Amino acid sequence: MSAHDVQAGRLDAATLQDNFGELHPPLNGMQAAVESARCLFCFDAPCTEACPTGIDIPGFIRKISTGNVRGAASTILAENIMGGTCACVCPVEELCEQACVRHTAEDKPVEIGRLQRYATDFLFASGAQPFTRAPGSGRHVAVVGAGPAGLSCAHRLALLGHQVTVFEARDKAGGLNEYGLAAYKMLNERAAREVEFILAVGGIELKTGVALGSEVSLDALREVYDAVFLGLGHNAVNALGLEQEGIDGVHNAVDFIERIRQDDWGALPVGRQVVVIGGGNTAIDIAVQIKKLGADSVTLVYRRGIEQMGATGHEQEIAQTNGVLLRTFAQPVQLLARNGSLSAVTFERTQLGNDGNIKGTGETFTLPADQVFKAIGQSFEPSMLSGEKTPDIENRRFRVNARQRTSLPDVWAGGDCTAGKDLTVTAVQDGKQAALAIHEFLMESPNG
């Protein structure tokens, strides 16, 4: 195996376009009517209880069934302003649809995610703006990070009448939705359209290319603004800790997924024999996409068993139906190179001990590979706050209370830089809850 086995343009443009078509096509009007009629409109609906943002799911589905699709979308977005994105990427099979009372051995759950997409797509296509801002409060809040948590917080604060300035280090807003989602789950223009919709409510100024710790400091923001929300997301990728990790052919999955979303697919380097290391949704996303880009074989290797994978059963099925081979109970121990480029990866077989931890068995095997993608987790590195009065950190994330408030009285945080599930829907809820808490804080201290 050599670097010559990695090349761009393995597939023609038409094939790539077909490969990256949407995973689940949208419902048409007739399909939405039929599916919405399956809902039993439960009182104290378990699906609503299972939704991290508390969307009135029977309520919006009933509106679809009666033809009030715009009203259905308004019901969704009132609780989850990123309901359009979440309809495409939320793990509904573990949340609302898992809790659906129709989810039995004899029946299938109502397709809540697809109905949610149907309603939000309808509203976005109409160009309507269902939200109206409250009268101006005269207060100004800084939001750092234009990902799901930050944009959710900014939108709710703006609705409540506050002025908001959002600082984003990258050139585009959207965070994970813009840069980190698999292209087949959500087409690129959807993230930008959602950002435009959020900003259109008014009262929100977006400043891109402004990074915390270099262009602006937390101390300065606290001095100028009445409150600060930190939605910094993940900013570091875990390393394998192996020699030659920097050789040609070894990639961070997160960085490559960003390239898939931002660059021309035909220009991306693709190997013939590809290995993905990890067991979460990011590992699945890169494995499926590199196969769709033209890799001959893609093997995903995880150190534990199928049951312990972070990726849901639905995600695992996507991988397998797209030609990805899953191998479990193996951990990488050596990267092999030839002429300065990756040629193979050696793994040690593992097993679970009685304490639940894995341990090596001493038995190894080697997989030929001209590309390997590391997808063994992301983390938050708070180094951009060094030298300042900073919020308390716990387990490498900001420690917050039940209302997302940090140890600093005027600073809140949410999303992946705080503890909890690293999901878009939970980040949106964090931002919303923080905004409501900030609003109470501002109203209780009208003179600053």
In the chain, what percentage of residues exceed pLDDT 70? 98
Lookup result for tokens 């829907």: 425
For the beta carbon of residue 228, count every other beta carbon within 10 angstroms: 23
275-315: pLDDT as tens digits: 999 999 999 999 999 999 999 999 999 999 999 999 999 99
| Greatest alpha-carbon span in the chain | 68
Looking at the chain, the domain(s) classified CATH 3.50.50.60 span 140-235+380-444, 237-377
118-170: pLDDT as tens digits: 999 999 999 999 999 999 999 999 999 999 999 999 999 999 999 999 999 99
> Cα–Cα distances in Å, from 34 out to 61, 62, 111, 143?
11, 12, 11, 42
Contact (Cβ atoms closer than 8 angstroms) between residue 344 and residue 222: no
Confidence of residue 446 (pLDDT cuts 50, 70, 90): low
pLDDT reported for residue 3: 46
pLDDT reported for residue 1: 39
pLDDT reported for residue 329: 98
Question: Rounded to two decimals, what is the model's pTM?
Answer: 0.94
pLDDT reported for residue 433: 98
- Average pLDDT for the chain: 94
Separation between Cα atoms, residue 194 and residue 176, nearest integer Å? 13
Architecture of domain 22-126: Orthogonal Bundle (1.10)
197-240: pLDDT as tens digits: 999 999 999 999 999 999 999 999 999 999 999 999 988 888 99
237-377: what fold? FAD/NAD(P)-binding domain (3.50.50)
pLDDT reported for residue 2: 42
Residue 322 has pLDDT above 80, yes or no: yes
140-235+380-444: what fold? FAD/NAD(P)-binding domain (3.50.50)
pLDDT reported for residue 17: 93
Looking at the chain, the domain(s) classified CATH 1.10.1060.10 span 22-126
Which residues, at least 6 apart from 220, have a Cβ–Cβ distance to it below 8 Å? Answer: none
